[in-house]
Amino acid sequence: AFFNAFEFISSMSSGFDLSSLFENQ
């Protein structure tokens, strides 16, 4: 279960995970 909604968003959001900018290049 998720502790709070922001925790849920930051854990699950692919659009807010900018590591892909580096990994996908």
Partner 1 sequence: CFCLKKAKQHPGYEDPTTLASETPFTVNEVEALYDLFKKLSSSIIDDGFIHKEEFQLALFRNRSKQNLFADRVFDLFDIKRNGVIEFGEFVRSLSIFHPNAPNEDKMEFAFKLYDLRQTGYIEHEELREMVSAILNESDLEISEDVVESIVDKTMAEADLKGDGKIDKEEWKEFVARNPSILRNMTLPYLKQITLAFPSFVLNSEVQDSDI
CB of 1 to partner 1, least distance (A): 9
In the DSSP assignment, the letter for residue 3 is S
Show the site string, 1-25: x = touches partner 1 by CB under 8 A, - = not.
Answer: -xxxxxxxxxxxxxxxxxxxxx-xx
Place of tokens 């968003």: 9
Residue 23 and residue 18: Cα distance in Å, rounded? 9
Count residues binding partner 1 (CB under 8 A): 23
CB of 4 to partner 1, least distance (A): 4
Residues 6+ apart with CB under 8 A from 25: none
Binding site for partner 1 (CB under 8 A): 2-22, 24-25
